[in-house]
Structures are given as C-alpha cells and as structure tokens.
Amino acid sequence: MNAISLAAQILACCLLLHSQIMAATSAFTGVFGDGSHAVTVAMVEEGRRCSSAVREGTAPIGGGGAPPKPLLVTSPYEGGEYPVVVFLHGYLANNSFYSQLFKHVASHGFVVVAPQLYTISGPDTTGEINSAAAVIDWLASGGLSSKLPPDVRPDLSKVSISGHSRGGKVAFALALDHTKISIPIAALVAVDPVDGMGVGKQTPPPILTYRKNSLRLRGSAPAMVIGTGLGELPRGPLLPPCAPRGVSHADFYDECAAPACHLVARDYGHTDMMDDVTPGVRGLLTRAVCRSGGARAPMRRFVGGAMVAFLKRWVEGEPELLDYLRARPETVPVVMSVVEFRDGLRT
C-alpha cells in the first residue's frame, strides 16, 4: 500500500468518525427543541363524581367516561401508540402554566396528561395524592383513549409520573405506594421537588426520611431529579425561598435508590420552566414570589429535553440521548452545576 492510498483511507475514516459524532450531537441537541410530531391540546372536564368517591370504590370509572379531575391532555396528532406521562402541577399553580413544556415533550412522541388537582389547598397533600391516584386509575380503565385524536393510542404499559415543586412530592408519594394505583410506573421525573418549608417543617405526609437510598420506588422504577440553583434563595428579604434547603431536590436525590440521576440548572429559579406568559393572579405570583434567572425559554427547553432523554432511555429502551447528556453536559442550553448519575444508568 503506497503512502497516498494509506492517507486516503485515514482521511476517509476520520470523515466517517466526524459524521457520526456530528449526527450524535445533532440528535442530542434536538431534544432541546421541538420534536418531529405535530401536537394537539385538549381540555377535558371532570365527571360529576368526585375523585375521593372513585378511590373509595363508590363510583365506577372507565368506559371512556369523564375523568375524576379536569385534565389538560397534550399528545401527538398523528396516529400511533405513545407512552404516557402524568404531570402534577406545583402548589397553587394551574396545569395550564406548563403548556409549552407539555408541547415540547409531546412533540417527541409522548402523551402528557396533566390534572388540575385542586383550586385551593392547605399543607396536607393527602387529598392531592388520592386525586392523582384516581386519575391514574381512570387511565388504567381506558378512559383516556376517547379523549385523544383518531388513531392515537396511549400505551398504558408505559406510564411515567412527573411533577413540579409540591407536585414532585406527590409524584414521589405515588411511586412509593402511599396509596395504591392500578398500573405499574415506568419512571419518575421530579422537577425541583419540595417537601415542605424546611427540615422539621415537612408537609404531611412527609416523603423525605433523611436516610440515604431510603426512597425505593415501586417496581424499582428509575428516578430523575431536576433542580434549580436559585430555588433555594429567597426572592427578597421578606419572602421565604420557594425550594428551601433540607427539603428540596438535593435531599430527594440523596435518598433515591439507584437507578437515579440529578441535574441542576445553576442560574435558574423554581418556576422558570413554566410558560412565558402565566395569566391571572396566580400567574403573577409565579414571578413575584420565586427568584428567577430571567427568560424562561432556556430552562424550559432544558427540562423538556432532559425529560425526553431520560424517558427515551427508561421507557423506550433508547439510551443514546441520556448517555450523550452524561458524557457531554456542556451541550445543554443551561449551565449545570450538578450532573450526577447512579449505578444502572449506563447500558
């Protein structure tokens, strides 16, 4: 083999390797933008029977009837079978405040079901846990299918639970069997979860035990905990932090049994993954009460992309995106101060 031929082969190999790297990078960064699916959004009204009656067995569910709580359902429009993500809103928030995040996730091939768990609530989250469980029971009964576009089918063997702030706590409660639900949980994604006002001030029922690896999720489901660097800081001298230290993302991750991962956006706050516009008094409070990093779009793209990468790995059996995030965290749209993975996330 002469020198020119050898050089040509080396060049060809280098070009092939470069193209593979660029393809992997493009696929990874693509999760932080809209996916290939056009999406549709539907508001589904609740039925007459209350969720507590359903949980107590006094009201039948199923058969395509109305759900026990109002729902915001975001799904791909084109026909096919898609995994389901149940997303639980934060304290005193509206499910509609996350509509842009839902569209992002749905565009990558997921059906997102977001119940409005309550209008007003006190410190006890037991009612929210039971209401969320009733919604999942309704999913299991087949009620969701009639609320989706034609030829779109929910894959009820692949149901994940997610939630923000207090909704993240409720998601953990469901995954830890604080109340029984009728279908397995494929994965859990908690977005800046909060378990009360501080150590010793947990809202009932408490989730954190302050023992490492004590949170063993139902069926050994994997957990992703997404945190914010500004959530633990107060907005002003007269306001408490929205995600106080001792009851926030770091504590949840420390107690998660493997497999689990922990990602923290350094320069963003507790509500920065919400919509650009959150109307009404409650919407104004999402900006006035919690410290913010400014524009919400980068944080929302980060949360949506991280969720997609994690769910593709654990629900769809496609590890490439999550592996790339682990290897190249600098490619995400925010600066991450924490990137932690526990055993089991490598293939």
Contacts of 253 (CB under 8 A, 6+ apart): 223, 225, 227, 260, 262, 340
Which of the following is catalytic: 131, 165, 248, 292?
A: 165
Task: Name the amino acid, one letter, at 183.
Answer: I
Contacts of 263 (CB under 8 A, 6+ apart): 224, 225, 226, 227, 306, 336, 338, 339, 340
| Distance, CA of 22 to CA of 14 (rounded, Å) | 12
H or E stretch including 106? Answer: helix 99-106
Half-sphere exposure of 313 (CA within 13 A, CB side): 29
| Distance, CA of 100 to CA of 300 (rounded, Å) | 8
Q: Are 31 and 108 contacting, i.e. CB atoms less than 8 angstroms apart?
A: yes
Which of the following is catalytic: 75, 89, 192, 275?
A: 192
| Distance, CA of 220 to CA of 95 (rounded, Å) | 28
Q: Are 243 and 270 contacting, i.e. CB atoms less than 8 angstroms apart?
A: yes
* Ramachandran sector of residue 220 (left: φ over 0; alpha: ψ -120 to 50; beta: rest): left
**Is residue 162 flagged as an active site residue?**
no
Contacts of 274 (CB under 8 A, 6+ apart): 93, 97, 98, 101, 286, 296, 300
**Is residue 26 flagged as an active site residue?**
no
| Distance, CA of 347 to CA of 343 (rounded, Å) | 10
Q: Are 247 and 196 contacting, i.e. CB atoms less than 8 angstroms apart?
A: yes
**Is residue 89 flagged as an active site residue?**
no
Which of the following is catalytic: 37, 89, 108, 270?
A: 270
Task: Name the amino acid, one letter, at 70.
Answer: P
Query: What is the DSSP code (8-state) at residue 96?
Result: G
Task: Name the amino acid, one letter, at 45.
Answer: E
Residue numbers annotated as active site: 165, 192, 270
